[in-house]
Amino acid sequence: MTNSQKIKEKKSAIEQKIKKEMKAAQPLKDLSFGATAFRASTDMLSCIIVGTLLGYFFDCHFVTPHYGLIIGFILGSAAGLLNVYRRLCRLGYGFNRH
C-alpha cells in the first residue's frame, strides 16, 4: 500500500466522521418556534442576572454608588443579545439568510 492510498483512506474516514457529526447537529434546526424562543429568552435572562450580580458584588466590594450595578446590567444585556443573535444565526434566522 502506497502513501497516497493511505492518505486517501484517512481522508475518506475523516470525511465520513464529519458527515456523521453534521447529521447529529441537524436536530437543532428542527426545534419548534416556542422551544427556540424559550431558549433565547433563558439565555438573555441568565446573562442579565449574571451581569447585574457581578455589578452588585463590585459595588459592595469597592463601595461605589450603584455604578457597578448599572454597568453590570448594561454589559449583561449586551452579552445576552449577542448570545441570542449567535444562536439564531446558527439556526438560520440571521441577517445573512438567503
Please indicate, yes or no, if residue 79 is contained in any of the structural domains. Answer: yes
**Residue 37, domain member (yes or no):** yes
- Asked, for residue 94, whether it belongs to a domain, the answer is yes
Is 68 inside any structural domain?
yes
Domain around 50: 33-98
Residue 56 in any domain: the answer is: yes
* Global pTM value: 0.66
Residue ranges with strand state E in 1-78: none
The structural domain count of the chain equals 1
Within a domain: 2: no
**CB contact set of 94 (below 8 Å; sequence gap of 6+):** 85, 88
Place of cell 463590585: 58
Give the C-alpha separation, 75 to 84, whole Å.
14
Over its length of 98 residues, how does the chain's per-residue pLDDT go in tens digits? 677 888 888 888 888 888 877 666 555 566 788 888 899 999 999 999 999 999 999 999 998 899 999 999 999 999 999 999 988 888 777 776 55
